[in-house]
């Protein structure tokens, strides 16, 4: 544990791009979108070895920089059940999302991970739950949609997906305690190495990116696609379609 003075310095900055300032700003924005109501959801940002995490059980639109937890990633040991913090705010509890955030940072080299309780994400998992005819119930798939272009092709691969590509987001089952989701999230990462998100049945979604900008962009793009998918289902429009190409691909 860092000294009291040095610990406080970890979250004190006038720079709006500092993680301790960005997390409250992002969570307030997510609250307006209905993603983190009732203290649910959260966000974490990695800055070199330091990981900044929103606390548990706090109204996300009211979070301040002094509410943020900070830990050293190098100081943690998998499976991250016993964690040490460089800074722990008084009167708060560490987020149970923490080991899932750390999985994104270590397994995907992400710079930011966002967890939402978006209604559209939950509804998509319910629609998939109704389809028990095959593996399709455990993965969300959609193609031929412009917003798919907001996603990269995967870890270590150049460029983004194209309009005609198929976006696949795996679904894992919910658990009574959130940190127990970690091994299932990691298994989904292994099975779908190019994914930037994992849905949690009847719960929400985890989305990560190389940095805050990419994680936020992908989270917004996913929510748009989830809402679109729910409305498409109402109209009997399939999520996977055959659309003819009307122009050549460009490098």
CATH of residue 62's domain is 3.40.225.10
Q: What is the pLDDT of residue 135?
A: 47
Sign of the alpha-carbon torsion through 35, 136, 139, 179 = positive
**Does residue 249 belong to any structural domain of this protein?**
no
Check: CB of residue 97 under 8 Å from CB of residue 178.
yes
Active-site annotation holds for 249: no
According to DSSP, the residues that pair with 193 across neighbouring strands are none
Helix (H, G, I), strand (E, B) or coil at 145: coil
**Does residue 250 belong to any structural domain of this protein?**
no
User: Which segments are annotated as binding site for Zn(2+)?
Assistant: 115, 117, 203
User: Which segments are annotated as binding site for substrate?
Assistant: 97
**Does residue 96 belong to any structural domain of this protein?**
yes
Residue span of the structural domain in which 34 resides: 4-235
Residue 158 has pLDDT above 60, yes or no: yes
**Does residue 245 belong to any structural domain of this protein?**
no
For the stretch 113-152, pLDDT in tens is 999 999 999 999 999 998 765 544 799 999 999 999 999 9
% of the chain at pLDDT higher than 90:
86
User: Which segments are annotated as binding site?
Assistant: 97, 115, 117, 203
Rounded to whole angstroms, the maximal C-alpha distance in the chain is 63
User: How many C-beta atoms lie closer than 10 Å to residue 72's C-beta?
Assistant: 15
Q: What is the pLDDT of residue 51?
A: 98
Q: Residue 191: in which H helix or E strand, if any?
A: helix 182-191
**C-alpha–C-alpha distance, residues 118 and 36, integer Å:** 8
**Does residue 241 belong to any structural domain of this protein?**
no
Mean residue pLDDT across the chain: 93
Q: Which residues contact 126 (CB under 8 A, 6 or more apart)?
A: 201, 202
Q: What is the pLDDT of residue 132?
A: 60
**C-alpha–C-alpha distance, residues 112 and 208, integer Å:** 6
For the stretch 171-195, pLDDT in tens is 999 999 999 999 999 999 999 999 9
User: How many C-beta atoms lie closer than 10 Å to residue 99's C-beta?
Assistant: 22
pTM (2 decimals)? 0.94
Q: What is the pLDDT of residue 1?
A: 52
Q: Confidence class of residue 223 from pLDDT cuts 50, 70 and 90?
A: very high
How many residues does the structure list for the chain? Answer: 251
| Number of domains, the chain | 1
Check: CB of residue 52 under 8 Å from CB of residue 70.
yes
**Residue in 146, 173, 191, 231 annotated catalytic:** 146
Take residue 68 and report the two structure tokens written for it: 């943020």
For the stretch 21-78, pLDDT in tens is 999 999 999 999 999 999 999 999 999 999 999 999 999 999 999 999 999 999 999 8
Rounded (5°) CA angle 15-218-22: 15
């Amino acid at each position: 544990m860092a000294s009291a003075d040095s610990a406080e310095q970890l979250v004190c900055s006038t720079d709006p791009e500092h993680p301790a300032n960005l997390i409250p700003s992002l969570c307030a924005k997510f609250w307006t979108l209905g993603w983190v109501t009732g203290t649910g959801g959260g966000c974490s940002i990695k800055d070199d070895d330091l990981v900044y995490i929103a606390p548990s059980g706090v109204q996300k639109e009211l979070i301040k920089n002094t509410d943020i937890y900070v830990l050293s990633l190098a100081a943690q040991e998998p499976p991250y059940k016993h964690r040490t913090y460089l800074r722990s705010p008084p009167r708060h509890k560490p987020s149970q999302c923490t080991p899932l955030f750390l999985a994104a940072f270590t397994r995907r080299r992400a710079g930011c991970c966002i967890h939402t309780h978006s209604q559209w994400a939950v509804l998509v998992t319910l629609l998939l739950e109704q389809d028990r005819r095959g593996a399709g119930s455990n993965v969300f798939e959609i193609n031929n949609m412009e917003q798919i272009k907001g996603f990269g092709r995967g870890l270590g691969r150049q460029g983004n997906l194209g309009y005609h590509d198929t976006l696949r987001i795996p679904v894992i089952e919910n658990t009574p305690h959130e940190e127990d989701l970690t091994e299932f999230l990691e298994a989904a990462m292994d099975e779908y190495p190019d994914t930037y998100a994992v849905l949690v049945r009847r719960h929400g979604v985890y989305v990560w990116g190389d940095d805050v900008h990419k994680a936020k962009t992908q989270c917004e793009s996913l929510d748009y696609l989830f809402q679109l998918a729910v409305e498409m289902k109402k109209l009997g429009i399939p999520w996977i379609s055959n659309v003819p190409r009307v122009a050549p691909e460009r490098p």
